[in-house]
């Protein structure tokens, strides 16, 4: 298992450390509910240095990215970020990712830790077609970058205290290079995976201790807390954000997953024909969010049924919402049951517990 540049701090703080995507990662410190509510009400800090970062550079970088991703990278201007996915050639999703536009010939891809090697191999399959060489125009910087996500209503105020430039007016899905905690050329971005506001800060590994200490000192007055991956999961589920490996996989299409908004057909890309056909003809199942009406906690792989008890789908993610105190989840259901407020049932320990399809963000 690999350590991140912040692992020693997690150990010092008594975090519960578990193997995750090849890394020793903190799952919780003071408890998932406590950490979750701290992010919703104040500010929390996540070590997400296990994420992968790939640079794509050169005159053919844009053409390459247009082909391997579903979204329209040409719509990006310097300082903007785009959510997208990598289609796998069979209608499924290799990974979902963020695309950062540094300039017209320089892009940064941020990919999921569990898919780093798979993504790298997938991208290299097509790099030669566009004249990109691994290690040169296509470069894996994952092992060189430390990444903190500072999230919550007091997050920007916390980070602004240690940042030379103004970051309070950075729009959503945008970023800037700034001097943070005396670290020059840090990337400060506003994307987030919690719905609580905040930013992400990318620095070189050697600058990680300086960043960690400065962020926690700046946030002390707001009751800042370190937060593990357990609360990261409950926070994203409350917002209805997909998690790769649960809600989207190589066997799910972006159309089925409700991600049609990141599929742009004004360009040529892998799986364009398949996804265009799905869009025009429709799909048999859709990913939905749901809220439990009866008391119960849904979990991955639980059956979703109709009132008669017939299986109509399966839960992909589920938990007890720390904020709302009810069971919530996501899952694929037959398209006839995907409309908001439709009554569905989750099979828990042999019992059909009532829930309804819900809208998140």
Full 3-state SS string of the chain: CECCCCHHHHHHCCCEEEEECCEEEEEECCCHHHHHHHHHHCCEEEECCCCEEEEEECCCHHHHHHHHCCCCHHHCCCCEEEEEEEECCCCCEEEEEEEEEEECCEEEEEECHHHHHHHHHHHHHHHHHHCCCECCCEEECHHHEEEEEEECCCHHHHHHCCECCCCCCCCCCEEEEEEECCEEEEEEEECCCCCCCEEEEEEEHHHHHHHHHHHHHHCHHHCCEEECHHHHHHHHHHHCCCCECCCECCCCCCCCCCCHHHCCCCCCCCCHHHHHHHHHHCCCEEEEEEEECCCCCCCCCCEEECCCCCEEEEEEEEEECCCCCCEEEEEEEEHHHCCCCCEEEEEECCEEEEEEEECCC
Question: Can you give the pTM of this predicted structure?
Answer: 0.96
Per-residue tens of pLDDT for the chain, all 361 residues: 999 999 999 999 999 999 999 999 999 999 999 999 999 999 999 999 999 999 999 999 999 999 999 999 999 999 999 999 999 999 999 999 999 999 999 999 999 999 999 999 999 999 999 999 999 999 999 999 999 999 999 999 999 999 999 999 999 999 999 999 999 999 999 999 999 999 999 999 999 999 999 999 999 999 999 999 999 999 999 999 999 999 999 999 999 999 999 999 999 999 999 999 999 999 999 999 999 999 999 999 999 999 999 999 999 999 999 999 999 999 999 999 999 999 999 999 999 999 999 998 6
- Domains of the chain (ranges; CATH) run 7-51+143-239 (3.30.1360.120), 284-358 (2.40.30.110)
Gap between the Cα atoms of 163 and 166, Å rounded:
7
């Amino acid at each position: 298992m690999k350590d991140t540049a912040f692992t020693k701090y997690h150990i010092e703080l008594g975090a519960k450390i578990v193997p995750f995507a090849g890394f020793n990662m903190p799952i919780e410190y003071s408890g998932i509910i406590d950490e979750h509510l701290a992010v919703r009400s104040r500010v929390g800090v996540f070590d997400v240095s296990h994420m992968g970062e790939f640079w794509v550079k050169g005159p053919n970088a844009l053409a390459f990215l247009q082909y391997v991703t579903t979204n329209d990278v040409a719509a990006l201007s310097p300082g903007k970020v785009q959510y997208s996915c990598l289609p796998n050639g069979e209608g499924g999703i290799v990974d979902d990712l963020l695309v950062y536009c540094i300039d017209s010939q320089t892009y940064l891809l941020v990919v999921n830790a569990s898919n780093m090697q798979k993504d790298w191999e997938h991208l290299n399959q097509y790099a030669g077609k566009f004249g990109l060489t691994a290690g040169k125009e296509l470069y894996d910087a994952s092992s060189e970058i430390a990444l903190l996500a500072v999230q919550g209503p007091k997050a920007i105020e916390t980070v602004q205290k240690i940042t030379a430039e103004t970051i309070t007016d950075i729009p959503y899905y945008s970023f800037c290079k700034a001097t943070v905690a005396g670290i020059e050329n840090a990337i400060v971005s506003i994307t987030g995976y919690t719905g609580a506001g905040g930013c992400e800060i990318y620095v070189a590994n050697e600058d990680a201790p300086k960043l960690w200490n400065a962020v926690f000192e700046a946030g002390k007055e707001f009751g800042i807390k370190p937060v593990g991956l357990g609360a990261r999961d409950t926070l994203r589920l409350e917002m209805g954000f997909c998690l790769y490996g649960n809600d989207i996989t190589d066997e799910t299409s972006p159309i089925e997953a409700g991600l049609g908004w990141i599929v742009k057909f004004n360009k040529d890309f892998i799986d364009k024909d398949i996804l265009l056909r799905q869009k025009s003809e429709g799909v048999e199942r859709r990913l939905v969010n749901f809220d439990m009406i009866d008391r119960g906690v849904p979990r991955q792989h639980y059956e979703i049924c109709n009132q008669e008890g017939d299986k109509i789908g399966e839960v992909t993610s589920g938990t007890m919402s720390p904020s709302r105190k009810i069971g919530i989840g996501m899952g694929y259901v037959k398209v006839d049951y995907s409309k908001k407020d439709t009554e569905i049932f989750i099979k828990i320990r042999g019992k059909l517990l009532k829930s309804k399809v819900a809208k998140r963000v």
